[in-house]
Amino acid sequence: MSEKILEIDNLTVRYKSGNADVHAVNGISISLEKGKTVGIVGETGAGKTTTSLSIMNLLPERTGRIDSGTIKFKGKEILDMDYETIRSIRGKEISMIFQDPMTSLNPIFTVHEQLSEAVRMHSNLSKEDIDTKVKNVLNMVGISENRMNNFPHEFSGGMKQRVVIAMALINEPELLIADEPTTALDVTIQAQVLDLMKNLKRALNTSMILITHDLGVVSEMCDEVAIMYAGQIVEYGSLRDIYKGDKHHPYTVGLFGSIPNIKDKSKRLKPISGLLPDPTKLPVGCYFQDRCPHVMDKCRTIHPKYYINDNHKILCHLFEEDKHGQ
Amino acid sequence: MTNKKNKKNKNKVLKEEKKTSQLKEIWFRLKKNKLAVMGLIILLILILIAIFADLIVDYDNVVVKTNMPERLQPPSGKHWFGTDEFGRDILARIIHGSRVSLSIGVIVVAISVFFGCLLGGIAGYYGGMIDNVIMRIADIFLAIPAILLTITIVAALGIGMTNLLIALVIANIPGYTRLVRAVVLSVKDVEYVEAARAIGLRDGRIIFKHVIANCMAPILVNATMSIAGTILSAAGLSFIGLGIQPPNPEWGAMLSGGRQFLRVAPHMVIFPGIFIIIAVLMINFVGDGLRDALDPKLKD
């Protein structure tokens, strides 16, 4: 019905670190339709940011390497594009909001200079046109245009993040990658920024990849959710599948168990014990085996396959008996 | 109506103030450093003298023309700083010499900073092989004492103002390359550089607009200081006869010329020497002050 804007298939990324290879992303597949939002959730080091950098082809040149897989943006393979083509897509068709608004603006240029540079890179508009564009986008994110000649340090954290969002949206991209856009902000500002992003997304019909470790943010923003663990998507499904469905990956259950619940009378949270496996030597079998409460013998030897029910995928041996797909 | 206009004007004024606030703050901090202010004032005077040297003394008739009857005179009312072995007024020659000395300092440093930024920026930003090649070549140059290097280059290229400049620039570039690379390394992994890549900027623009601009403080301080060093080197080269050639006045060359008459006419050496010292010292004061003013940690 609607066109696919982004298709990632079996993406594998490795980092070279000394002698060891860090297996950051191990065969993930995501597809995203126009106007939809997919949330990527997972703990620190699960490979979320690496995935998003791969989409922009911005991995650190000498250490990061994409081993296999394809990333198709509007049907065109990103990984095969030459420098000039990918450069013309960055910031125009795909743009990115970074984690930390405090450092993602250049301290020595005014907001106006930085925003207009983003426009100038991708069009031949006249100075006046760029000016109006900058003013419009600043109005859109709720910053008064007579502050556009201020330097970043003259803004508060929330306002800086708005400027960063404005910079990402100024060329009206078709795909927006938001890498933990609210992590560095306090809760009241978080809500404002999320509201803002939601409205803008609706107004511009932008597709979005939202990277976060906050399940509350996901339920607010996303249509589909991918739960990442050790470079793999362990569960993928619609918002309803993940939040309401009856079958879950043990990791997802653990994640939800780690959120305080106001209705729950129990005194303690139920966190997942242990840490992510060492990405330089991932275990044989399921990567979650050491932390899983339902671990079975075959989890230690055989890597699980996806249990597939419609659009809901779970990477776990628990559900293999009643598997529908492969 | 008028009210609205007033408001608009007020806004404009506010904006202007904001835009210059950073420079203003640096200036404010520089102003508190008395030595730096003194250095700045004296340097300004020297620069003005250099610019208007032709209006102050006539080059052809006073500075280079010999005047044998008045040779080797001590300082007097007519010749404040005395005269040299050809009867030329030392003050007049110092005034015209300032042109050569100061401009050598500024030109050499400007050119070497430019190339240093270019090479250091590329080496620091790209890293890897390119970095290795550029920095090892710089190391080779740095391994040779600067004065020997310049002497060799001048000797190879031939004596003259242009060749002197070329030699000094070549001797200065490796140091700047090293400095710029170091600061670029500390800046290039900051998120706004990644953000600049994410909005689709070209590498060249990122290096020279976003990265180098953020490294300007240490480069500026270093450049100011090394103007002084360059003036000294140029004077040194002139002193050993490889720099500016007679009869053109240059402070180092004047020192050199006065050497043989040290016993009978010490003023021939003393006055050019004093001017070299003053220029170098004042530039260093300004550089020191700039370093303090540009360092936000020393803010009070």
Smallest CA–CA separation between A259 and chain B, in Å? Answer: 30
pLDDT at B130: 92
Taking only residues 98 to 117 of chain A, the set having a beta carbon closer than 8 angstroms to any beta carbon of chain B reads 98-100, 103-110, 117
Q: What is the distance between the alpha carbons of residues A311 and A30, in angstroms, rounded to a whole number?
A: 11
What number of H helices and E strands is found in chain B? 13, 0
| Higher pLDDT among residues B143 and A269, named by residue | B143
Q: Is B13 on the interface with A (CB under 8 A)?
A: no
Interface membership of B4 toward A (CB under 8 Å)? no
Beta strands in A113-253 (DSSP E): 175-179, 207-212, 224-229, 232-238
Largest CA distance in chain B: 81
Q: Which of B192, B201, B205, B214 to mutate to test the interface with A (most CBs of A within 10 A)?
A: B192
* A59 chain-B contacts, CB cut-off 8 A: none
pLDDT tens digit sequence for A6-44: 999 889 988 887 788 888 888 888 889 888 899 999 888
Top-confidence residue, B1 or A167: A167
Average pLDDT, chain A: 85
- Asked whether residue A325 carries a pLDDT value surpassing 80, the answer given is no
CA angle B99, B102, B103 (to 5 degrees): 75
Cα separation of B5 and B101, whole Å?
Answer: 53
Residue B21: predicted pLDDT? 64
Residue linked to tokens 């729950």: A264
Confidence band of A321 (pLDDT split at 50, 70, 90): low
Q: Using the beta-carbon criterion (under 8 Å), do B127 and A62 form an inter-chain contact?
A: yes
In degrees and rounded to multiples of 5, residue B89 shows phi and psi of -70, 125
Cα A229–A232–A233 angle (5° rounding)?
A: 85
CA A279 to each of CA A14, A231, B132, B203: distance values in angstroms, whole numbers, following the listed order: 10, 9, 30, 31
A138 part of contact set with chain B, CB < 8 Å: no
Q: Name which of B239, B231, B216 is nearest B284 in CA terms.
A: B231
pLDDT at A323: 47
The alpha carbon torsion through B120, B123, B126, B129 (nearest 10 deg) reads 180
Supply the CATH classification number for the domain A4-93+173-319. 3.40.50.300
Is the Cβ pair A58, B198 closer than 8 Å?
yes
| CB within 8 Å of A134: residues ≥ 6 apart | A112, A115, A116, A119, A145, A148, A170
Amino acid B176: pLDDT: 94
pTM value > 0.80:
no
Yes or no, beta carbons of B192 and A164 under 8 Å apart: no
Q: Which residue of B has its CA nearest to A116?
A: B199
Across A205-209, average pLDDT: 90
pLDDT band at A158 (very low <50, low <70, confident <90, very high): confident
* Residue A139: other Cβ atoms inside 10 A: 12
Which residues in chain A have Cβ-Cβ distances shorter than 8 Å to B11?
Answer: 146
Question: What are the CA-CA distances from residue A98 to residues A33, A95, A101, A241 (Å)?
Answer: 22, 10, 7, 28
Q: In angstroms, rounded to a whole number, what is the distance separating the alpha carbons of residues B185 and B205?
A: 16
Asked if residue B12 is part of any domain, the answer here is no
Structural domain total, chain B: 1
Tell me if A87 and B202 make a contact (CB, 8 A cut-off): yes
- pLDDT score of B46: 92
- Cβ-Cβ contacts under 8 Å, A87 against chain B: 200-202
A22, β-bridge pairs: A15
Contact B200 A104 (CB under 8 A): no
**Nearest-CB residue to B210 (from A99, A106, A122):** A106
Q: Which domain holds residue B41?
A: 23-62+78-298
**Closest CB from A87, A149, A151 relative to B15:** A149
Listed by number, the residues of chain B in 170-199 with a beta carbon closer than 8 Å to a beta carbon of chain A are 190-192, 194-199
The CA-to-CA distance between both ends of chain A, in Å, stands at 25
CA–CA distance, B300 with B294 (Å, rounded to integer): 13
- With 80 as the cut, is the pLDDT of residue A324 above it? no
At residue A290 the predicted structure's pLDDT band, cuts being 50, 70 and 90, is confident
d(CA B291, CA B297): 11
- Mutating which of A106, A131, A172, A209 best tests the B interface, going by the most B Cβ atoms within 10 A? A106
> Residue A129: phi, psi to the nearest 5?
-65, -45
Query: CB B197 to CB A92 under 8 A?
Result: no
R_g (Cα) of chain B, nearest Å: 24
Residue A42 and residue B46: Cα distance in Å, rounded?
65
- Residue A124: per-residue pLDDT: 86
**Closest approach of B16 to chain A, Cα-based (Å):** 9
Read off the DSSP letter of residue A82: -
Contacts of B214 in chain A (CB under 8 A): 106-108
Handedness of CA A291, A292, A297, A300 (dihedral sign): negative
A146 to B11: CB separation less than 8 angstroms, yes or no: yes
Task: Please identify which residue in the block is written with the tokens 């559900």.
Answer: A319
B23-33: pLDDT as tens digits? 777 888 888 88
Read off the tokens for A264. Answer: 């729950």
Interface pTM, i.e. ipTM = 0.76
Q: CB contact, 8 Å: A164 with chain B?
A: yes
Domain boundaries, chain A: 4-93+173-319
CATH code assigned at B46: 1.10.3720.10
**Number of continuous H segments (helices) and E segments (strands) in chain A:** 9, 12
> Is A183 within 8 Å of chain B by CB?
no
Better-predicted residue by pLDDT, A188 or B251: B251
Q: Examine residue B16 and state whether it is found in any structural domain, yes or no.
A: no
Residue numbers in chain B where pLDDT is lower than 70: 1-22, 296-300
Look-up of token digits 């990277």: A211
The A residues from 259 to 288 touching B (CB cutoff 8 Å) are none
